[in-house]
Structures are given as C-alpha cells and as structure tokens.
Amino acid sequence: MKSNLPFLLRFYLVAALLTGFSSIVSAQTIKGSVTDVKSGDILIGATVYIQKGDFQQSTTVKLDGIYIFKNIQAGVYKLQVKYIGYNTTKGYDVEAANGGTAILNVAMVSKATALTEVTITEHVATKQTLRLATMKKMPITH
C-alpha cells in the first residue's frame, strides 16, 4: 500500500500558501492627515485611534503629516483623534473596503481661549526703623 503522506504534505503546503497570499492581496489601509482647523498647520504627534468590535489600534501623525493603519481587516471602524491642547474629535465611521485605501483627513479645534483681562496684584513688605531712644522707652517683658 502506498503512503499518502507526500500528497497530504503538498496539499497542506499549497493551501497554506494560498491562504497567506489571499490575506496579503486583500490587505486594507486607512490613512489621512490631522491639521489645525484655523491655521491648517499639521499636528505632528497627534494620536489616532481605530476600533472595530474588540479590535483596537493606535498610531501617531508622523513628520510628513500622515497617519496610516496598514494591513487591517475589511470593515467599518470608529476613528478618533486626540492631541494635547485640542478637543478630542468625535468618532468618525471609516470603511476599509477589500483591498482598498480609505482616506480621512481630520481638522481639530484648539481648546485655547483668549484672555480679555489680566489682573496683577503686588504685595509690598514694610520695614520699620526704630531709633535707639524709642527702643529705650519700650517696656521689657520676660
């Protein structure tokens, strides 16, 4: 009787290669930029979060002004951005389609408020000089 081991080994090897290849071909990407809503300046270092069910991932805006999530599963993700000194964004729905790239550019609003009035108060310590004649007249207590 002839062994089926070489056939089964080849079958599993081919199946594994095809499975790996299909996951590479259908890799999805979400990317975009994060800027200040008024000035348009890139907010380098802003943290971008995505979530779909139990899956969560984060990245930061790089020096080129872009954030990117590579090789994620297809589906709809909630995307949120946080940056010090800015209001956290609402959760945006972003769909990562099979083999595609979803682009979402986000403009953030600063938390800074303008001052209308500044009050400066100064307290001065007073120094009193006593003359020797006045000191001699003061009672001494024990």
pLDDT value for 4: 58
> What mean pLDDT is predicted for residues 118-127?
72
Q: Rounded to an integer, what distance in angstroms lies between the CA atom of residue 126 and that of residue 44?
A: 51
**Pairing of the two strands 101-103 and 28-36:** parallel
Q: pLDDT per residue over 15-54, tens digit each?
A: 554 544 444 445 799 999 999 999 999 999 999 999 999 9
**Pairing of the two strands 28-36 and 106-108:** parallel
Q: Are 91 and 48 in contact (CB under 8 A)?
A: no
Q: Which of these, 57, 36, 38, 37, lies nearest to 47 by C-alpha position?
A: 57
Higher pLDDT, residue 87 or 9: 87
pLDDT value for 23: 41
The token duo for 87 is: 């209001």
Q: What percent of the chain has pLDDT over 90?
A: 58
Q: pLDDT per residue over 43-62, tens digit each?
A: 999 999 999 999 999 999 99
Tell me the domains of the chain and their CATH numbers. Answer: 26-108 (2.60.40.10)
CB atoms within 10 A of CB 3: 7
Give how far Cα 41 sits from Cα of 5, 68, 83, 94, 106, Å.
63, 18, 13, 23, 12
Instruction: Please indicate, yes or no, whether the overall pTM of this predicted structure exceeds 0.85.
Output: no
pLDDT value for 21: 42
